[in-house]
Structure formats: C-alpha cells, structure tokens
C-alpha cells in the first residue's frame, strides 16, 4: 500500500523507507515555533533538562504576537523571559515589537517554512504551513522544549482524509467559506488526529491566502495537520519569499484514505459558524436577523493582504453602522505597509473602522476588542467557543472578511452586495 503526502514527509524525516498509519516514529525537525504565551513554559521546562543549549539557532522561531505590545505586567514578564532566552542562545528568528506579526502569517512571509518541512509549534494553528506542502502541527510546550533541545519529536503517523476540490468559487466565496463548510460537514472531531489532504483540479482556483486559511483551521476539525499539493502557485510563493531549498512530495496513487469527500467550490455560499462551535454552520442567506455589536477582521486565519483587500472592497465608500465597533488587524508589518500603500487603511478609517498594530488581539480574549456580557461579534478568527473573546455570555460568529465587512455596514450578519 502506498503512502499519503504527509506519510512520505514523515518517513523522510524519520530516515525510513516507509511508514504506516499508527506507527510511532522519531522525526528530525526543520523548525520549532513558540510565542509569548507558550514559549516561557517551554523555557522553564528546559531548565529541568540535563542538556544545556538548543539544537540549532536558525531552526527556532520565537514570535511575540499574542499580547504584544504588552497589555499588562504579566505579558511584559513573559516577553522579557523569551527575549532573554533568545539573546542567550543567539536565536536568529526572534520577532518582537517592530518586527513581529501574527506567527502563522509571519513565518511563511519570512521564508522560514517551505514544502517538505517538518514543523512543530506550541500553538494549535501551526498546521497553517501545510498550505505550502509542509507537515506542520501544534504541540504542547513540553514537546516544544524537547524539540528546541534535540531537534527531534515523536509522532504517531496519522491516517488521512482526502478532500477532492473541484469547480470555481463565486465572487464572495473564499477559503474561509470552504473550511467552514467542511467543518460543518464533518464536525469538530471529524478528522481527529488525521491528516486532511486537499487535492483536485479546483485547487488552482484557490489563492495562497485561501490555502493558508483552510490549512490553518484543520485543527478545528480535529486534524493533526492539513496539507496541499505543491503546485506552480505554491512554488512561486516560496521562490518569492524564501532562499531555502524545498522538497516536493506527492501522494502515491494507491495511498490509503479513511474517507474521501468531494467539495464543489461552485456550489458553496458565504458561510457563518454560529456559537459556540465552528461546526455550527449556516450559509449567510439562512442566518436570519442577527444583530451584532462588534466586527473583527484579522487573525492568523484572515489577516493577510487578500483578506484586507476583500474587506476594503466591501467597505469602500460605505460607513460602519452606528454603534458598531469595527476592528481591523493586519497580520504582519509587511501586510500593514502594503495595505497602507494600496490605500486600504484609508478606506477602513474613512468607513469608521480602527486599524491595529499586528497582534492576535481579541481572537483569544487577549485585548483590542474584549466582549462584554450579552455582546455579539462577527469575526474572521478561527474559534467561537464559550468565553473565547471575553464574557462567557457573549457570542462569536465566524465568517469571511467579505461577510464581516458587509455586516459592519448593516449592523447585522449580512452578505456583501453583488
């Protein structure tokens, strides 16, 4: 029996001719990632190790993004801890205020993630880099500590689900709608510890930003990772952003999948996940009359340049509804700069939105948009659990930048005008 794309990458990293689903392996790592919340835990764990040092100063990335610029004393202490650790070990890829961005948008932009890599990160949305044909997955801070010390990690080889993407999406349908549709179809545990492998002729109709969004939310279906084939668009992205050599793996014709689904992009509609799970999806035309208080456009899921362009296209010449707070967060400094040069920030501000420095901000209930009791937010983020953005009796509705921007104008969950 042949191997899936993920299994081939893991076999190579483990130095084995083949691997099978369920097999335990030790694999070499190409990158270990941590942020300002998870890294301090890993650093303190390393204090207990008998070894002193890290496996490679260029293969660790520490990104200060969750509470940065620091929102309080505790977050300042966390960042100080990581800053001192990065300085002590001369870590090349340490990103702080002025250089930082949301980690899962920043690392591909900086060329630190490429096809064929094995990447672990102490953040659940590390699966984002599968958009480039890498195996990337979230781990706990203890595993991050071991990875930083040894350059290796243990894995149970995942089985896989195949998603055959066909067709071409309509005007306002994006990668966010694709992954919300899939999660609504299979559920938040539908891909539990499985590789979500995307293939098919319809992938050519998905931008790189669409693919990053889809891979990013693989974890919301329980997936171990999400991964895309390395086509010409992915190669172009890597050639433009990275000087690293990448390796292209393709699934065998006789690779085994637990399940297979066909997703017709032309049949999808703008989709919203209602509280309090990403699987609780409805198309926007079935949403009903849902009044909102706040709109967030940003995050590691939808804070990229294409996302901001789409939101600006909807908001241009319009006004945010009276009483609605609209918060726009570019995912990196580079995206912020490009959005400024294209005039997107002017459109947002003239519409009555605010624009923040790159940060995870309100997505995890951090800052820059915490919800009060009874408030509702439509957000381009990735999770809408109880209390995720603030008060346990607030509500979060997940949507694409197009739907979020349209909702800001009307004050209710709405789809953009054709």
What does the longest C-alpha to C-alpha distance in the chain come to? 62
The DSSP-derived string for 129-158 is GGGGT-EEEE--HHHHHHHHHHSEEEEEPP
Looking at the fold, whether 236 and 96 belong to one and the same domain comes out as: yes
Q: What is the mean pLDDT of residues 9-19?
A: 97
Looking at the fold, whether 147 and 296 belong to one and the same domain comes out as: no
Looking at the fold, whether 82 and 140 belong to one and the same domain comes out as: yes
pLDDT, one tens digit per residue, over 210-251 is: 999 999 999 999 999 999 999 999 999 999 999 999 999 999
Nearest Cα to 305, choosing from 270, 278, 334?
334
Looking at the fold, whether 206 and 299 belong to one and the same domain comes out as: no
Looking at the fold, whether 186 and 96 belong to one and the same domain comes out as: yes
Judged against a pLDDT cut of 90, whether residue 100 lies above it is answered with no
pTM, entire model: 0.95
The DSSP-derived string for 85-118 is HHHHTT-SEEE-TTT-B-HHHHHHHTT---TT-E
Domain span holding position 235: 5-244+252-263
pLDDT, one tens digit per residue, over 111-170 is: 999 999 999 999 999 999 999 999 999 999 999 999 999 999 999 999 999 999 999 999
Judged against a pLDDT cut of 90, whether residue 417 lies above it is answered with no
418 found inside a domain: no
416 found inside a domain: no
Q: 219, 236, 263 — which closes off a domain? A: 263
pLDDT at 1: 77
Percent of the chain whose pLDDT exceeds 70: 100
Judged against a pLDDT cut of 80, whether residue 278 lies above it is answered with yes
Looking at the fold, whether 194 and 224 belong to one and the same domain comes out as: yes
129 found inside a domain: yes
Looking at the fold, whether 294 and 238 belong to one and the same domain comes out as: no
pLDDT, one tens digit per residue, over 310-346 is: 999 999 999 999 999 999 999 999 999 999 999 999 9
Show the tokens assigned to 35: 């942020």
Residue 377: which CATH number?
Answer: 3.30.499.10
Overall number of domains in the chain: 2
Nearest Cα to 127, choosing from 31, 227, 41, 201?
227
Looking at the fold, whether 97 and 224 belong to one and the same domain comes out as: yes
Distance, CA of 128 to CA of 125 (rounded, Å) = 6
Looking at the fold, whether 299 and 240 belong to one and the same domain comes out as: no
Looking at the fold, whether 301 and 356 belong to one and the same domain comes out as: yes
């Amino acid at each position: 029996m042949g191997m899936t794309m993920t299994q081939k990458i893991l076999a190579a990293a483990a130095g084995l001719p083949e691997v099978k689903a369920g097999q335990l392996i030790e694999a070499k790592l190409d990158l270990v990632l941590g942020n300002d919340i998870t890294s301090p835990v890993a650093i303190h764990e390393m204090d207990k190790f008998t070894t002193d040092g890290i496996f490679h100063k260029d293969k660790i990335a520490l990104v200060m993004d969750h509470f940065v610029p620091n929102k309080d004393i505790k977050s300042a202490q966390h960042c100080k801890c990581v800053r001192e650790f990065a300085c002590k070990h001369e870590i090349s890829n340490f990103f702080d205020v002025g250089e930082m961005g949301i980690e899962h948008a920043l690392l591909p932009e900086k060329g630190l993630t490429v096809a064929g890599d094995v990447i672990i990160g102490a953040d659940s949305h590390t699966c984002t880099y599968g958009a480039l044909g890498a195996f990337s997955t979230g781990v706990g801070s203890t595993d991050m500590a071991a990875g930083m010390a040894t350059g290796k990690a243990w894995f149970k080889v995942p089985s896989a689900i195949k998603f055959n993407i066909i067709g071409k999406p309509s005007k306002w349908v994006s990668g966010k709608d694709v992954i919300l549709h899939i999660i609504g179809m299979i559920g938040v545990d539908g891909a539990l510890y499985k590789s979500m492998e995307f293939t098919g002729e319809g992938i050519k109709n998905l931008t790189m930003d669409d693919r990053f969004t889809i891979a990013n939310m693989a974890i919301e279906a329980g997936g171990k990772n999400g991964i895309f084939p390395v086509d010409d668009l992915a190669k172009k992205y890597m050639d433009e952003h990275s000087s690293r050599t990448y390796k292209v793996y393709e699934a065998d014709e006789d690779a085994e999948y637990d399940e297979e689904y066909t997703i017709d992009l032309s049949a999808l509609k703008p989709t919203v996940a209602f509280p309090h799970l990403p699987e609780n999806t409805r198309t926007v035309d079935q949403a009903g009359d849902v009044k909102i208080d706040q709109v967030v456009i940003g995050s590691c899921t939808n804070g990229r340049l294409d996302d901001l362009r789409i939101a600006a296209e909807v908001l241009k010449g319009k006004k945010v509804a009276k009483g609605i707070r609209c918060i726009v967060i570019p995912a990196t400094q580079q995206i912020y700069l490009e959005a400024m040069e294209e005039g997107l920030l002017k459109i947002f501000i003239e519409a009555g939105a605010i624009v923040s420095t790159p940060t995870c901000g309100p997505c995890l209930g951090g800052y820059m948009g915490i919800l009060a009791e009874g408030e509702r937010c439509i957000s381009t983020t990735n999770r809408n659990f109880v209390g995720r953005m603030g008060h346990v009796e607030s509500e979060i509705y997940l949507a694409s930048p197009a739907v979020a921007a349209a909702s800001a104008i009307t004050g209710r969950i709405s789809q953009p005008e054709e």
